[in-house]
C-alpha cells in the first residue's frame, strides 16, 4: 500500500511510522520518463533549481528574481494603446499582458489588428496576449470555436511574444494552437484557474504536469485562496514541481487576500513571474502595485543571494 493511502486513514499517522522506507517510494510511467510520484518521501527527482530559463526579448525568465507582468484592463483599443505606451516607459515591468477579452467580443481579424498595434505600443516589453474565458475571470464566455479562431488569427496575422492558452479546452485544439504558435516563434503559457476553491497539492501538480505534456513553455495556475493554508498549498505544490517534476518556468499564484504572499515568494518556491497592478487597475484580486512589488522582490532576491 502506498504511504499516501495510509495517511488517508484514521490510523494514518500511526501506520505511517511502521511503513518501511523501501516500500514508501513509488514511481510511475508518464510519457517516456520515470518520475517519483510520492513526494512525501522526497524521492530523488530532477533536483533543486533545475529550471531551464526561457529567454524572451533579452529577459531570462526563470533566472534571478521573478519577472513582473502588468495586465491591461482597457475596454477600447485607444485606451489600450495609451496604457501600453505608459507601461513601456515603466522600468519596473518586464512584461505586459494584453487582455484582449476586456475589449469585448470582437471578430478574430479585429483582434489580430489590435495586437499588431498593441505590440508596437509596448516597446521593448515582452508582450503576452490573453483571451480570458468568462468562467476563468474574463468578461464573456468564449466558446472553443471562437477561442480557437481568435488565437489562430493572432498567431497568423497578429503579433505576440507569448500567448496564454487555457488548459481545460478541446485538447486537439490546444495541441494545434501550441504547434502553430511555436512554428511562428511564439512561446506558450498554458494556464488553469479556479475561482471557487484551491485544489489540493496533488491536483495542482497534476494540472501543471498536464500543461507540460501539452507543450507549454511556461506552466501557469491561478486559484482563489480562502485561508493561509490554501496559499501554502499553492507554494508547496510549486516547490515540489520545481524539485521533482519540471524544468520549465512556472507562474503560479493564489488570488485574494490570503493569496497575496504567493505573489512575492516565487524566487523561493519556484514561480518565475508575477502579476502586478498599475494605477490601481488590477485584473484579479490581490495584485500588488508594480513598484512596491518590485521593491519586495528585489529585497528578497538580495537576501537570498548575499
Ligand atoms: O490568469 C491570470 C492571473 C491573474 O488572474 C492573477 O491572479 O494575477 C491575472 C490575469 O490577468 C491573468 O491572466
Determine, yes or no, domain membership for 195: yes
**Residue 42 among known ligand-binding residues:** no
User: What was the pLDDT predicted at 38?
Assistant: 52
Domain range for 154 is 64-304
d(CA 274, CA 70): 9
Determine, yes or no, domain membership for 34: no
One DSSP character per residue, the chain reads --HHHHHTSTTHHHHHHHS-HHHH--EEEETTEEEE--GGGT---S-TT----EEETTEEETSSSPEEEEE---SSHHHHHHHHHHHHT-TT-SEEEEEGGGG-S--HHHHHHHHHHHHHHTTTSEEEEE---GGGT-SS---HHHHHHHHHHHHHHS--SEEEEESSS-HHHHHHHHHHHHHTT-EEEEEEEESS-PPPHHHHHHHHHHHHHTT-SEEEEEEE-SSHHHHHHHHHHHHHIIIII--S-EEEEEESGGGGGGGT-HHHHT--EEEEEBTTB-SSTTPEEHHHHHHHHHHHHHHH--
User: What was the pLDDT predicted at 52?
Assistant: 94
**Residue 253 CA: which ligand 1 atom is closest?**
7
**23, pLDDT greater than 60:** no
182 phi/psi in degrees, rounded to 5: -60, -35
287 ligand 1 Cβ < 6 A: yes
305 phi/psi in degrees, rounded to 5: -130, 65
Determine, yes or no, domain membership for 77: yes
Mean pLDDT score, 188-203: 97
Mean pLDDT score, 276-281: 96
Cell of 131: 483571451
Which residues fall within 8 angstroms of residue 277, CB to CB, at 6 or more apart? 70, 71, 283, 287, 288, 289, 290
Using CA positions, which residue lies closest to atom 1 of ligand 1? 222
130 ligand 1 Cβ < 6 A: yes
d(CA 276, CA 291): 9
- Which CATH number characterizes residue 163's domain? 3.20.20.70
**Residue 132 CA: which ligand 1 atom is closest?**
13
Determine, yes or no, domain membership for 78: yes
**Residue 99 among known ligand-binding residues:** yes
Determine, yes or no, domain membership for 12: no
Contact between 197 and 228 (Cβ < 8 Å)? no
Q: Look over the chain and give the mean of its residue pLDDT values, rounded to a whole number.
A: 88
Q: What digits encode the pLDDT tens for the residues 65-83?
A: 999 999 999 999 999 999 9
User: What was the pLDDT predicted at 269?
Assistant: 95
Torsion of CA 279, 217, 186, 98, to 10 degrees: -20
User: Active-site residue numbers?
Assistant: 193, 220
Determine, yes or no, domain membership for 256: yes
% of the chain surpassing 90 pLDDT? 82
For ligand 1, the distance from its centroid to the CA atom of residue 6, given in whole angstroms, is 37
Please give the tally of structural domains in the chain. Answer: 1
Q: What digits encode the pLDDT tens for the residues 2-22?
A: 333 333 333 333 434 443 443
222 ligand 1 Cβ < 6 A: yes
Using CA positions, which residue lies closest to atom 4 of ligand 1? 284
d(CA 38, CA 41): 6
Alpha-carbon torsion (10, 11, 14, 20), positive or negative: negative
ipTM above 0.85, yes or no: yes
User: What was the pLDDT predicted at 243?
Assistant: 83
pTM above 0.95, yes or no: no
Nearest partner of 186 among 194, 177, 195, judged by Cα: 177
Nearest partner of 219 among 199, 181, 191, judged by Cα: 191
d(CA 199, CA 202): 8
- Secondary structure of 21-42 in HEC code, one letter for each residue: HHHHCCEEEECCEEEECCHHHC
**Residue 248 among known ligand-binding residues:** no
Mean pLDDT score, 176-183: 98
**Residue 4 among known ligand-binding residues:** no
Determine, yes or no, domain membership for 284: yes
For ligand 1, the distance from its centroid to the CA atom of residue 132, given in whole angstroms, is 9
Determine, yes or no, domain membership for 48: no
Amino acid at each position: 500500500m502506498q504511504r499516501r493511502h495510509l495517511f488517508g486513514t484514521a490510523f494514518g499517522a500511526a501506520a505511517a511510522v511502521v511503513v518501511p522506507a523501501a516500500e514508501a517510494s513509488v514511481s510511475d510511467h508518464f510519457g517516456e520518463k520515470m518520475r517519483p510520484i510520492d513526494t512525501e518521501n522526497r524521492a530523488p527527482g530532477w533536483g533543486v533549481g533545475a529550471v531551464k530559463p526561457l529567454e524572451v526579448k533579452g529577459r531570462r525568465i526563470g533566472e534571478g528574481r521573478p519577472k513582473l507582468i502588468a495586465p491591461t484592463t482597457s475596454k477600447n483599443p485607444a485606451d489600450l494603446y495609451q496604457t501600453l505606451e505608459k507601461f513601456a516607459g515603466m522600468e519596473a515591468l518586464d512584461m505586459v499582458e494584453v487582455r484582449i477579452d476586456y475589449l469585448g467580443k470582437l471578430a478574430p481579424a479585429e483582434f489580430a489588428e489590435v495586437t499588431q498595434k498593441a505590440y508596437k505600443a509596448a516597446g521593448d516589453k515582452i508582450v503576452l496576449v490573453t483571451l480570458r474565458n468568462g468562467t476563468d475571470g474574463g468578461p464573456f464566455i468564449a466558446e472553443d470555436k471562437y477561442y480557437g479562431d481568435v488565437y489562430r488569427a493572432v498567431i497568423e496575422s497578429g503579433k505576440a511574444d507569448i500567448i496564454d492558452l487555457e488548459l481545460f479546452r478541446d485538447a486537439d485544439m490546444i495541441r494545434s494552437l501550441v504547434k502553430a504558435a511555436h512554428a511562428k516563434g511564439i512561446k506558450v503559457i498554458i494556464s488553469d484557474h479556479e475561482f471557487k476553491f484551491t485544489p489540493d497539492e496533488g491536483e495542482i501538480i497534476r494540472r501543471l504536469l498536464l500543461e507540460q505534456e501539452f507543450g507549454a513553455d511556461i506552466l501557469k495556475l491561478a486559484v482563489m485562496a480562502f485561508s493561509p493554508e490554501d496559499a501554502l498549498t499553492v507554494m508547496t505544490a510549486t516547490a515540489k514541481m520545481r524539485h521533482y517534476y519540471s524544468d520549465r518556468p512556472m507562474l503560479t499564484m493564489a488570488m485574494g487576500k490570503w493569496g497575496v504572499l504567493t505573489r512575492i515568494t516565487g524566487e523561493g518556491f519556484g514561480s518565475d513571474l508575477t502579476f502586478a497592478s498599475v494605477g490601481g487597475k488590477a485584473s484579479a484580486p490581490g495584485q500588488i502595485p508594480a513598484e512596491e512589488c518590485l521593491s519586495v522582490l528585489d529585497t528578497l532576491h538580495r537576501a537570498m543571494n548575499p
